[in-house]
Copies of this chain bind each other. A is one copy, B any other.
């Protein structure tokens, strides 16, 4: 986990803003590349990678759900899976798989298996 001392390194890191489905998320390059095999690590490992498109304010465009991206980004920040009540876990799982964060996807599958009673009728496709 990050400590206050690590925090001061924020002055030296690259800050990156993402436009995920229309909502802006601000984070650092080191957070985005935390999971080395993920799509985000591939996108942001090197500066000015071929294939990333930015909006008119310089935020990198990602065509995904902002609501379900939020816990994904927090997981990259501190390594914990923390989700508010009412957020559909299947939505977060969909994003974890899309972004190729395998450890998180497996953890979510376990949580979903434990939390969903067999008589559940919540919308899944």
For residue A87, give the distance in angstroms from its CB to the closest CB of chain B.
6
Give the chain B neighbours of A65 by CB distance below 8 A.
70, 73-74, 77
A8 within 8 A of partner (CB): yes
**Nearest residue in B to A100 (C-beta to C-beta)?**
B4
A7-B39, A22-B23, A77-B63 known; A123-B98 Cβ under 8 A = no
Give the chain B neighbours of A50 by CB distance below 8 A.
11
Interface size on A, residues (CB 8 A): 64
> Would you call A70 and B67 a contact (CB within 8 A)?
yes
A52-B11, A79-B125 known; A27-B17 Cβ under 8 A = no
> Would you call B15 and A55 a contact (CB within 8 A)?
yes
For residue A118, give the distance in angstroms from its CB to the closest CB of chain B.
14
Of B42, B84, B115, the contact of A91 (CB 8 Å cutoff): B84
Of B80, B88, B114, the contact of A94 (CB 8 Å cutoff): B80
Q: Which of A65-103 contact B (CB under 8 A)?
A: 65, 67-68, 70, 73-74, 77-91, 94, 98, 100
A11-B51, A74-B91 known; A28-B63 Cβ under 8 A = yes
For residue A86, give the distance in angstroms from its CB to the closest CB of chain B.
4
